[in-house]
Amino acid sequence: MVRAQCTEHGSSGEVQFLTEKTHKTQKRFTTKHAEDTNGARAQNRAQSLDGRASIIGRMLKIIALCELLACWVAWALAFVKPRRQAAEQKEVARAPASKWGIGLVMLSFALIWAYVRPVGYEKSEAALIVSMVFGPPSVALAWAATRHLGKQWRYQAAVSQGHELIQTGPYRWLRHPIYASMLGMILATGFCLTWWPMFVAAIVVFLTGTEIRVRTEDRLLGDHFGESFVAYRARVRAYIPFVR
């Protein structure tokens, strides 16, 4: 009788122990399953966000590149009419030294478009946005400058017969706004496409060439216009607002 009761109590204890163990195992399994499920959801959410960011990045790159190409075409078209008008004018003075500056500027254009970069190099979204900011104002500045300069525009520094000292439009704020527009296009291209070492090299070469052109042209205009140009140069920056 006593043995039967002990056996009964022992069996009951074993059942309770097994039941508790089963509950604990199920609880651990349920907790782990929930953690795995939450982890999988978080991973899927992160992958989804990464996918969206990747798509947005690719779209931004395409938009920035299309804008850049359109800006270069529009910028070049600004010089078509003035070049035809300038061909009809008779030159009375020229500064051959400006050719050295022109050569360096052309070299800077080659550097900024050179496809030299490490494998997998990509521009950041911030750089692409900066590129898109520089392009349109540079085009607008080129068109405004050529419109006010008109037939007096020259590829090489020169003074033509009946030459006037233009001080209207963008020439009220910059003596050489076309060079400013060139710098803007260099920056737009560099931020959109160019590997940073090449970008920096292009800017250095461009500024060197532009300084040669500015000094040569200022000397030519100073000889032609005298004190009126000296006063103009004293109050108006060359091609970089507030700096140069």
Contact 121, 57 (CB under 8 A): no
What pLDDT does residue 3 have? 47
pLDDT, one tens digit for every residue, the chain (244 residues): 444 444 444 555 555 655 565 566 565 655 555 555 665 565 656 565 556 667 777 898 999 999 999 999 999 999 887 666 555 555 556 667 778 888 999 999 999 999 888 888 888 999 999 999 999 999 999 999 998 887 777 766 777 666 788 888 999 999 999 999 999 999 999 999 999 999 999 999 999 999 999 998 888 888 878 888 889 899 999 999 877 7
Within-domain flag for 56: no
What pLDDT does residue 116 have? 81
Within-domain flag for 41: no
Within-domain flag for 240: no
Within-domain flag for 57: no
Within-domain flag for 77: yes
Side chain identity, residue 138: S
> Secondary structure of the chain in the HEC alphabet?
CHHHHHHHHHHHHHHHHHHHHHHHHHHHHHHHHHHHHHHHHHHHHHHHHHHHHHHHHHHHHHHHHHHHHHHHHHHHHCCHHHHHHHHCCCEEEECCCHHHHHHHHHHHHHHHHCCCCCCCCCCCHHHHHHHHHHHHHHHHHHHHHHHHHHHHCCCCCEEECCCCCCCCHHHHCECCHHHHHHHHHHHHHHHHCCCHHHHHHHHHHHHHHHHHHHHHHHHHHHHHHCHHHHHHHHHCECCCCCCC
Within-domain flag for 34: no
Within-domain flag for 39: no
CATH number, domain at 120? Answer: 1.20.120.1630
Domain count, the chain: 1
Residue 167: which domain range?
Answer: 64-235
Exposed/middle/buried for residue 79 (C-beta within 10 Å: 0-12, 13-18, 19+): middle
What pLDDT does residue 58 have? 84
For the segment 224-238, what is each residue's pLDDT rounded down to a tens digit? 788 888 898 999 999
What pLDDT does residue 198 have? 95
What pLDDT does residue 13 have? 56
What pLDDT does residue 27 have? 58
Within-domain flag for 166: yes
What pLDDT does residue 165 have? 82
What pLDDT does residue 80 have? 85
